[in-house]
């Protein structure tokens, strides 16, 4: 038997990502769990950011950001980027992260993250608590560990995901897309 619980956004697991924004001089990194895939062609995603965030100001100003996926080694810095504001501190310096110039946009990527998606904002949706930036992915870069024959191949157990308030390793493969229709 199920019972009613307090209204909540219970979708889980969700991605937990480090979003870098600004430019090579003045930048920020914000941890975001309210992110999602929204279109295939062109590839598009959304991130929902509260208006109070410093990163919100930078994204609104530049219309660009980079979504960096994390592996297990980056859970601590990802959490750290989600509890201090870039208004008071340079998070690249504080967490010993490397600012990496993007190829297609001015916002820097986080070099230590295994995958970085360079994004350009196409639509801004004003919601009650958050602003949802709907963005086109204009370039994707992956580290060697996440590549196989030049193609993206995310290792089993990665990337780290988020369930309620827990960072979790994604589990073992239970099936693959459309496997029930294959002989």
Ligand X SMILES: Cc1cc2nc3c(=O)[nH]c(=O)nc-3n(C[C@H](O)[C@H](O)[C@H](O)COP(=O)(O)O)c2cc1C
83-112 residues in contact with ligand X (CB under 6 A) are 83-87
| Closest-approach residue to ligand X (CB) | 82
34 forms part of the interface with ligand X (CB under 6 A): yes
CB of 156 to ligand X, least distance (A): 22
Q: Could you tell me the two tokens for 137?
A: 């992915």
Near ligand X by CB under 6 A: residue from 30, 67, 115, 137: 30
Residues in binding contact with ligand X, number by CB under 6 A: 21
54-73 residues in contact with ligand X (CB under 6 A) are 54-55
Whether a cis peptide bond, with omega within 30° of 0, leads into 15 is: no
CB of 14 to ligand X, least distance (A): 9
Near ligand X by CB under 6 A: residue from 22, 53, 69, 110: 53
36 forms part of the interface with ligand X (CB under 6 A): no
Task: Read off φ and ψ for residue 73, nearest 5 degrees.
Answer: -70, -15
Burial class (CB in 10 A: 0-12, 13-18, 19+), 36: middle
Query: Residue 49's CB: how many other CB atoms inside 10 A?
Result: 23
Query: CA-CA-CA-CA torsion for 143, 146, 151, 152, nearest 10 degrees?
Result: -110
50 forms part of the interface with ligand X (CB under 6 A): yes
146 forms part of the interface with ligand X (CB under 6 A): no
Q: Could you tell me the two tokens for 97?
A: 């992260």
* Alpha carbon separation from 12 to 8, 134, 157, 165 (Å, rounded): 11, 21, 16, 10
168 forms part of the interface with ligand X (CB under 6 A): no
82 forms part of the interface with ligand X (CB under 6 A): yes
Task: Read off φ and ψ for residue 135, nearest 5 degrees.
Answer: -135, 150
Positions that interact with ligand X (CB under 6 A): 16, 28, 30-34, 48-50, 53-55, 79, 82-87, 162
């Amino acid at each position: 038997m199920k019972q009613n619980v307090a209204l909540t956004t219970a979708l889980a697991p969700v991605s937990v990502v480090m979003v870098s924004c600004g430019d090579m001089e003045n930048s920020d990194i914000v941890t975001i769990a309210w992110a999602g895939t929204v279109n295939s062609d062109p590839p598009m995603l959304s991130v929902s950011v509260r208006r109070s965030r410093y990163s919100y100001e930078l994204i609104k100003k530049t219309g660009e950001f980079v979504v960096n996926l994390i592996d297990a080694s980056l859970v601590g810095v990802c959490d750290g980027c989600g509890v201090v504001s870039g208004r008071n501190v340079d998070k690249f310096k504080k967490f010993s992260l490397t600012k990496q110039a993007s190829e297609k946009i001015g916002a820097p990527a986080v070099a230590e993250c295994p995958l970085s998606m360079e994004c350009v904002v196409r639509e801004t949706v004003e919601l009650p608590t958050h602003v949802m930036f709907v963005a086109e992915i204009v370039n994707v870069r992956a580290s060697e560990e996440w590549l196989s024959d030049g193609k993206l191949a995310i290792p089993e157990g990665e990337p780290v995901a988020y369930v309620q308030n827990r960072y979790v390793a994604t589990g073992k493969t239970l099936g693959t897309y459309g496997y029930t229709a294959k002989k």
